[in-house]
Chain A
């Protein structure tokens, strides 16, 4: 039984957590410093962008379409109460590029690619592949973690953009093709109301931050897991929980910073 009142236990637990945080911070800085060497081996990087990006594409496209459908439908019901259903295009586009595109794509990315990353690295650790690499005088952080990290950072904004684009098409299908909102108003309002830098640019910036966060959490969990089947499965679960919470928390902070008047 853990006794939280026992100062020995509290001290040890605090020290352990601080050490974990320090280790995580050092790994993060180390990964950031690998950008140059990673770009010098483009084949390794492109393999990871393909693996992380392409394999998440199907779930991103399908989810984007359905989110667009729902936005089109709900948006129309609300806007028509105030007689401004022509603003549907603007509402759908702003919701997607500012919030839903980056956030939902990041949550899906954590579930699809993040878990694959954690399990992959965890299994390499459990099979002593990372130790074998170290003994071959090859740095596993540079050779294995870095291409995955930068692959995730590059893939995430692309996936977020695809999500938003497909979502807007979904909104158009429901709003214009099915309900009959005016086609011209739908697109022109969107074109006039969406700012390239303030809206699309900030949305992309969010995606980059989420890409850094999700990929880093996935890699850290895989690299730090116990090298056993239970350890790998626990780490995979932790990746989804931590990455999702981090994305939602960071989204609030970023939104407050970017869109405050």
Chain B
């Protein structure tokens, strides 16, 4: 890692995207995105499916490189890092994947122990205590010996959260943490995200399209559509917004700027009716 410059003030923002354009092949997913995530906050990236939300997380984790613009994490441009630098930056991040992404051949305990075993030389007794503490924080200390196939989707998500927190990250990235959960599990997941953020002094970025749960826990909402930021603000500001795209999303209207019908040729032509 590069040496820190003592004369430089510490960055206020955990993550900053400056004029980022990104895509796969010829297809542009994000266009000229500017985004600031202050330290200690919970920022939610919301938007329609395929709007580029997950791509933002992949950029921050440096699983993708932007076509142009800068992705700064703790003031460091992720594009300039070499392989070792990327690994060092990732050790300070935790990521919760959409369906948990638990290692299916390892028990709940071993899943949480995995990053500790890979990155530390802790004695087995210390490692055991650490893993059980992490599992206790998500309420699953008793499920330590179960396999991922033996626990519910909500529990998988919580085990994955404990695993993502194992190395005490500074930045947590959540990819659709509420997808496919029942209301109880969803409430638990939302409460955990907020509580962990505040008690452990983290910064959290939550990608979600669940308006109710996300508005409850986020400090700032960013709405993405078609690769652009179409609205942002506090949950209260978003609810009050008159911007058509924001209104359609927040109030779940079936038709609006996002069309109900996929672009098609004329109805009369398809049904053989000549007008």
- Do B90 and A129 touch across chains, with their CB atoms under 8 A apart? no
A244 nearest CB across to chain B (Å)? 27
A-B contact pairs, 21 of them (CB 8 A): A128-B97, A128-B98, A128-B99, A128-B101, A129-B103, A131-B97, A131-B101, A135-B61, A135-B90, A135-B93, A135-B94, A135-B95, A135-B173, A136-B114, A136-B115, A136-B163, A137-B88, A137-B91, A137-B119, A139-B87, A143-B118
Determine the chain A residues whose CB is within 8 A of the CB of B87 once the complex forms: 137, 139
Of chain A, the residue at the smallest CB distance from B119 is A137
Determine the chain B residues whose CB is within 8 A of the CB of A131 once the complex forms: 63, 97, 101
Starting from the known contacts A129-B101, A135-B95, 19 additional A-B residue pairs (CB-CB under 8 Å) come to A123-B104, A124-B104, A128-B98, A128-B99, A129-B104, A131-B63, A131-B101, A132-B97, A135-B63, A135-B90, A135-B93, A136-B114, A136-B115, A136-B118, A137-B88, A138-B115, A138-B118, A139-B87, A143-B118
> Which residues of B line the A interface, CB within 8 A?
61, 63, 87-88, 90-91, 93-95, 97-99, 101-104, 114-115, 118-119, 160, 163, 167, 173
B58 nearest CB across to chain A (Å)? 9
Which among A128, A131, A135, A143 has the highest number of chain B CB atoms within 10 Å?
A135
Q: Dominant SS at the B interface?
A: mixed
Determine the chain A residues whose CB is within 8 A of the CB of B95 once the complex forms: 132, 135
A84 nearest CB across to chain B (Å)? 54
B61 nearest CB across to chain A (Å)? 5
Q: How far is the CA of A136 from the CA of B112 in the complex (A)?
A: 11
A8 nearest CB across to chain B (Å)? 13
Of chain B, the residue at the smallest CB distance from A128 is B101
Q: Sorted from nearest, which 3 A-B pairs have the closest CB atoms?
A: A132-B101, A128-B101, A137-B90
A20 nearest CB across to chain B (Å)? 15
Q: How far is the CA of A134 from the CA of B163 in the complex (A)?
A: 13
Residue A229 CB within 8 A of the other chain: no
Residue A127 CB within 8 A of the other chain: yes
From B63, B119, B160, contact of A134 by CB (8 A): B63
A249 nearest CB across to chain B (Å)? 33
Q: How far is the CA of A124 from the CA of B102 in the complex (A)?
A: 9
Interface residues of A in 80-136 (CB under 8 A from B): 123-124, 127-129, 131-132, 134-136
Q: How far is the CA of A138 from the CA of B120 in the complex (A)?
A: 12
Q: How far is the CA of A135 from the CA of B88 in the complex (A)?
A: 10
Q: How far is the CA of A118 from the CA of B98 in the complex (A)?
A: 23
Determine the chain B residues whose CB is within 8 A of the CB of A134 once the complex forms: 61, 63, 90
A223 nearest CB across to chain B (Å)? 15
Determine the chain A residues whose CB is within 8 A of the CB of B104 once the complex forms: 123-124, 127, 129
Determine the chain A residues whose CB is within 8 A of the CB of B167 once the complex forms: 136
Residues 137-167 of chain A, each 1 if its beta carbon lies under 8 Å from chain B, else 0: 1110001000000000000000000000000
- Do B101 and A127 touch across chains, with their CB atoms under 8 A apart? yes
Determine the chain B residues whose CB is within 8 A of the CB of A132 once the complex forms: 95, 97, 101, 160
Determine the chain A residues whose CB is within 8 A of the CB of B160 once the complex forms: 132
Determine the chain A residues whose CB is within 8 A of the CB of B97 once the complex forms: 128, 131-132
Determine the chain B residues whose CB is within 8 A of the CB of A143 once the complex forms: 118
Of chain A, the residue at the smallest CB distance from B166 is A136
A124 nearest CB across to chain B (Å)? 8
Determine the chain A residues whose CB is within 8 A of the CB of B102 once the complex forms: 129
Q: How far is the CA of A123 from the CA of B118 in the complex (A)?
A: 22
Which among A123, A127, A128, A132 has the highest number of chain B CB atoms within 10 Å?
A132
Determine the chain A residues whose CB is within 8 A of the CB of B98 once the complex forms: 128
Q: How far is the CA of A135 from the CA of B93 in the complex (A)?
A: 8
